C-alpha cells in the first residue's frame, strides 16, 4: 500500500437489518497511522460502521478500500491484516498469558512463534506474569493482554470496540499510551468510545447518531464547526439559576460542570443578551469559556433529533 494513500477510504456505505437502516450513506477517509475515534449514543451504528470499514461486515450499499483492498471483493485480505478487540474479554481465562498468546499466534500462523510471543510479552509488560492465568488478571491487565493478542500477528489496522469500558483511570491512561506507540509505528487504529477524554486523545473523531455521520474532524475542528458560544458561571444555588437560564431565549443548553454551569448557544449576541441581567447579580461570577466536546455532542444530538423526519 502506498504510504500516501489513506488507510481507509469509503463512500455511500449503508447497512440494513430487516427494515431497520443501521448505517446510512457513510463516507470517510482515515489517514495511515491515525487514531480515529468513533463516538455516539448506544445504537448509533458505530460498531456496524467500523466492521464494514474493516471488511468484517458486507455493506448493502457503497464502496471503498481498506489497506488498499476492496471492502467487498477482498474482505479476506483485509481480515488477515486486522487486529480486532471487543469490549468483552475474549481470551481463555484458564490458560496462562503465554499460552493465550501462543494459541492466537498459531491461529495466525505467526512465525517464529516463540520468539514473537516473547517479544510481545516483554513489550506489554508481562515478563513477570507470563505464567499467570488470564482469569486471575485485573481488568486493566486483561485489556492489556487482549491488546497484546491483537497485535501479535503484526496487523496494519486495529479495531477496538470500547476497549477500556470498566477499566480504572490509571489503566486507561496506560492503555492509551500503548495505542499511541502503535500508531507511531504506522498502525492505523479505529476505536469506539463513550469517554470524552479518550475522544480528545484521538487524532480525528467521527460522531454518529441514528446511523448518520453528524460530525468529523480533529477535536479542535469539531468544536469550531459547532458554532457554539459558551459562558461559565459559578456561585450559590446553581440548580435554581439553571432553571432560570433554561427559560431564556438565546440559551440552547445549560449543563453542570463541577462547581460551575456551562451556558451555551449558537447565537453569541442572543446568548449575551439572555445572560446580561443575571450578570449584574454580584453573587455570581461569569466568564466566557470554550465549549467542551461534550457540549458540542449534546447540542449536535439534540439538534439532529429535532430535525429527524
- Per-residue model confidence as pLDDT tens digits over 76-115: 999 999 999 887 778 899 999 999 999 999 999 999 999 9
d(C-alpha 203, C-alpha 183), whole Å? 10
Express as a percent the part of the chain with pLDDT over 70: 97
Which set of grid coordinates corresponds to residue 12?
A: 455511500
pTM: 0.89
Whether 31 and 108 share a structural domain: yes
The answer to whether position 277 is within a domain reads: yes
The answer to whether position 94 is within a domain reads: yes
Whether 47 and 118 share a structural domain: yes
The answer to whether position 2 is within a domain reads: no
Whether 54 and 178 share a structural domain: yes
1 has pLDDT over 60: no
- Per-residue model confidence as pLDDT tens digits over 175-187: 999 999 999 999 9
d(C-alpha 91, C-alpha 280), whole Å? 60
Stretch 57-81: mean pLDDT? 94
**Structure confidence at residue 178 (pLDDT):** 93
**Structure confidence at residue 77 (pLDDT):** 94
Whether 20 and 167 share a structural domain: yes
H/E run at residue 134: none
**Structure confidence at residue 167 (pLDDT):** 81
CATH number at residue 246: 3.30.70.330
Among 218, 240, 269, the domain boundary falls at: 218
How do 253-257 and 260-265 pair as beta strands? antiparallel
Cβ atoms < 10 Å from Cβ of 239: 8
The answer to whether position 1 is within a domain reads: no
The answer to whether position 3 is within a domain reads: no
Among 218, 242, 273, the domain boundary falls at: 218
The answer to whether position 201 is within a domain reads: yes
Among 218, 243, 273, the domain boundary falls at: 218
The answer to whether position 297 is within a domain reads: no
Whether 189 and 244 share a structural domain: no
Whether 233 and 199 share a structural domain: no
Domain count for the chain: 2
Whether 46 and 155 share a structural domain: yes
The answer to whether position 305 is within a domain reads: no
Q: Partners of 190 in the beta sheet?
A: 36, 159
Whether 24 and 154 share a structural domain: yes
CATH number at residue 31: 3.40.50.300
- Per-residue model confidence as pLDDT tens digits over 272-284: 999 999 999 999 9
Whether 212 and 253 share a structural domain: no
- Per-residue model confidence as pLDDT tens digits over 193-251: 888 889 999 999 999 999 999 999 999 999 999 899 999 999 999 999 999 999 999 99
Nearest to 291 by CA among 254, 239, 248: 254
Whether 100 and 242 share a structural domain: no
**Structure confidence at residue 48 (pLDDT):** 92
Which set of grid coordinates corresponds to residue 248?
A: 431564556
Whether 150 and 16 share a structural domain: yes
For residue 42, what is the DSSP state? T
Contact 198, 45 (CB under 8 A): no
* DSSP letters for 249-282: TT--EEEEETTEEEEEES-HHHHHHHHHHHHT-T
Long-range own/partner contacts, residues 270-275 (CB < 8 A, 24 or more apart): 271/229, 271/231, 274/245, 274/248, 274/249, 274/250, 275/231, 275/233, 275/245, 275/248, 275/251
Q: Cell 465549549 belongs to which residue?
A: 291
Whether 195 and 269 share a structural domain: no
Residue 23's SS3 state is strand
Q: Partners of 288 in the beta sheet?
A: 231
For residue 90, the enclosing domain spans: 8-218
Amino acid at each position: 500500500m502506498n504510504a500516501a494513500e489513506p488507510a481507509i477510504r469509503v463512500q455511500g456505505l449503508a447497512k440494513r437489518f430487516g427494515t431497520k437502516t443501521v448505517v446510512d450513506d457513510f463516507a470517510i477517509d482515515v489517514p495511515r497511522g491515525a487514531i480515529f475515534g468513533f463516538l455516539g449514543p448506544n445504537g448509533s451504528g458505530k460498531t456496524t460502521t467500523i466492521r464494514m470499514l474493516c471488511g468484517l461486515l458486507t455493506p448493502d450499499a457503497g464502496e471503498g478500500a481498506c489497506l488498499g483492498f476492496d471492502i467487498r471483493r477482498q474482505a479476506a485480505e483485509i481480515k488477515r491484516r486486522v487486529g480486532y478487540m471487543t469490549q468483552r474479554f475474549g481470551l481463555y481465562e484458564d490458560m496462562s498469558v503465554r499460552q493465550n498468546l501462543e494459541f492466537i499466534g498459531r491461529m495466525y500462523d505467526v512465525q517464529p512463534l516463540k520468539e514473537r510471543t516473547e517479544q510481545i510479552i516483554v513489550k506489554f509488560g508481562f515478563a513477570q506474569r507470563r505464567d499467570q492465568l488470564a482469569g486471575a488478571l485485573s481488568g486493566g491487565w486483561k485489556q492489556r493482554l487482549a491488546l497484546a493478542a491483537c497485535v501479535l500477528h503484526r496487523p496494519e489496522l486495529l479495531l477496538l470496540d470500547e476497549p477500556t469500558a470498566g477499566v480504572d483511570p490509571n489503566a486507561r491512561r496506560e492503555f492509551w499510551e500503548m495505542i499511541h506507540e502503535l500508531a507511531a509505528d504506522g498502525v492505523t487504529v479505529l476505536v469506539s468510545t463513550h469517554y470524552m477524554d479518550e475522544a480528545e486523545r484521538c487524532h480525528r473523531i467521527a460522531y454518529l447518531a441514528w446511523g448518520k455521520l453528524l460530525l468529523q474532524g480533529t477535536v479542535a475542528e469539531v468544536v469550531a464547526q459547532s458554532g457554539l458560544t459558551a459562558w461559565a458561571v459559578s456561585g450559590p444555588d446553581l440548580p435554581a439559576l439553571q432553571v432560570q437560564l433554561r427559560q431564556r431565549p438565546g440559551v440552547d443548553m445549560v449543563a453542570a460542570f463541577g462547581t460551575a454551569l456551562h451556558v451555551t448557544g449558537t447565537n453569541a449576541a442572543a446568548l449575551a443578551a439572555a445572560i446580561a441581567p443575571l450578570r449584574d447579580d454580584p453573587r455570581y461570577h461569569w466568564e466566557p469559556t470554550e465549549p467542551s466536546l461534550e457540549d458540542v455532542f449534546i447540542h449536535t444530538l439534540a439538534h439532529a433529533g429535532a430535525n429527524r423526519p
